[in-house]
Amino acid sequence: MRVHLPCLALLALCWSAAPATAAQNCQWGELGDLADPAKLGLARVRGAPPVRFQRDRQGCPGHRRCEERAYVVAGDAVVTGASTGAFVCTYFPNARGGATGWLPQARLLPMTVDPDPPSAAWVGAWSTGYGWGRGADLRLSRAGAEIKVEGTAVFVRDAEAGNVNDGEIVGRARPLRGVLEITMEDQLDDCRARLRLIGPYLVVADNGGCGGAWVSFGGVYKRGLPSRRN
């Protein structure tokens, strides 16, 4: 497995995320809207050599100076969002928290995504990986016609000092057009999360009310990534 550096600007995916409208906007909050299947997709990287993500700073993407150290290679599957010119905003999950940035559209082969996956596709242990002091795990199981969601998230400010914020989510709902809407009604902060399956990935947005400061369940989850439970 290649080592991909985590995104320095990884943001919690907002409950009401909006698509990118400028070349400077390719971060979590601007990747796309989970409620609109047309706003997020899946693509497979094709061709050689390895291709580096390009950052979302002024004057980027499109220049060598925009390139990050993080990269993907042929065969990698990435979540796709908004586009600008010849580039697409993408996210690639990995054990260290994932990488996000612009990739050339010519290096991406769009993949078909089931808009209404069966219940079995949801079930399993999912993780965002852990990088830059944050991460989350979710366990999804069947509960009759519904899917039960149980998870924990963490943000580590200072591990040695014990300064760790965490969060929890528990709920169940019936998938509707490939989306799960979870609400913890007993929480003072009204924890809500929206989950959507995109191929091999589970993409999650929350409303920021599911834990302590800077704790979020927002992110791209994958089966098989290291879990904080391990």
Predicted confidence at residue 58, as pLDDT, reads 83
pLDDT digits (tens, 9 = 90+) for 66-111: 999 999 999 999 999 888 889 999 999 887 778 889 999 999 999 9
In this structure, the chain runs to a length of 230
∠ Cα 159 164 168 (to 5°): 140
Residue with tokens 């769009």: 110
Omega cis (within 30) before 49: yes
Share of the chain above pLDDT 90, in %: 49
Predicted confidence at residue 23, as pLDDT, reads 42
Tokens of 178: 């490939």
The strand order across the sheet containing 179-184 reads 163-173, 146-158, 134-143, 124-131, 219-223, 201-206, 191-198, 179-184
CA distance 165 to 56: 29
Q: Strand 201-206 vs strand 219-223: parallel, antiparallel, or unpaired?
A: antiparallel
Could you give the residue ranges of the DSSP H alpha helices within 61-211? none
The 3-state DSSP composition of the chain as helix, strand, coil percent (nearest 5) reads 5, 45, 50
**Is residue 15's pLDDT more than 60?**
no
Share of the chain above pLDDT 70, in %: 77
∠ Cα 14 20 24 (to 5°): 110
pLDDT digits (tens, 9 = 90+) for 128-138: 888 777 889 99
CA distance 211 to 200: 27
